[in-house]
Amino acid sequence: MAILSATDIVKYFTEPVRFQVLRGISLSVEKGEFVSIVGKSGCGKSTLLYVLSTLDTDYEGTLVIADTLLTGRDQEFLARFRGEHIGFIFQFHFLLQEFTILDNVMLPALKLGKEPQATIHTRAMDLLHRMGIAEYAHRPAKQLSGGQQQRAAIARALINQPTMVIGDEPTGNLDSENTAIVLDLLEAICHEMGQTVVIVTHDTEVAARSDRILTMADGKIVGEHRTR
Ligand SMILES: Nc1ncnc2c1ncn2[C@@H]1O[C@H](COP(=O)(O)OP(=O)(O)O)[C@@H](O)[C@H]1O
Ligand SMILES: [Mg+2]
């Protein structure tokens, strides 16, 4: 069953000159699948992720996630949809620096307002344990290292148990030990929880841990490789 299907995605940037950054991308991702996207810098990977995560609505083509047509929806609908279904791990984490790590992780779930605070607290602490940063839960984000903040940002992306996790170089700031921890967790949420992960990476070892590797070049998908 496809949880995500994107059809003929085309996108132009107009500044400084008009150019076509995405040149007819179609892709389908199964529920429970872990997909990685690789390709040279500048080929359009981040741009594609912004479209797939509904943050960018300025494109042609259609996007369907979890049986919901997302193309043409208004911002309010999309914000609500993202809160429930999409966890996005940005290339540069944007933790609220004055807030504690725990508050940062709990915030998206408190915003959604579907569960009691105690339930959210328990799940947030569990994620922080898995990420190896539980001891920093009550510290303000600004006191943590870049790698620790990155792991907190990953915990935050997972707090609502999103249908899809979309990550742009989610392990980019991490050493090999912490990269392994994050990959174990991403693999587990796919294969045990039936969540779905799509990440961009330039690390071939990270890509090799996914189920399927898509290669992009010049705004197109030019290759596909199943690892299992
Ligand atoms: N907001 C923007 N306006 C104009 N050009 C952009 C913008 N964002 C990215 N680009 C250009 O689009 C191309 C693809 O960018 P990007 O998706 O970030 O590539 P990747 O993530 O694969 O490195 C690059 O040539 C980049 O310079
Ligand atoms: Mg990029």
pLDDT of 146 > 90? The answer is: no
pLDDT single digits (tens) 166-185: 999 999 888 999 899 999 99
Nearest-CA residue for ligand 1 atom 2 is 13
CA 211 to chain centre: 16
> What pLDDT band is residue 94 in, cutting at 50, 70 and 90?
confident
Asked whether 37 lines ligand 1 (CB < 6 A), one says: no
pTM of the shown model: 0.94
pLDDT single digits (tens) 180-203: 999 999 999 999 999 999 999 999
Proximal ligand: closest to the CA of 168: 2
Nearest-CA residue for ligand 1 atom 11 is 42
Mean pLDDT for 154-161 is 94
pLDDT single digits (tens) 70-91: 999 999 999 999 999 999 987 6
- Ligand 1 mutation target, pool 19, 47, 198, most atoms within 8 A of CB: 47
CATH homologous superfamily of domain 32-58+73-226?
P-loop containing nucleotide triphosphate hydrolases (3.40.50.300)
| Ranges of each domain in the chain | 32-58+73-226
Ligand 1, residue 47: give the atom nearest the CA: 17
Q: Within 10 A of 45 (CB to CB), how many other CB atoms are there?
A: 22
Q: Are 159 and 127 in contact (CB under 8 A)?
A: yes
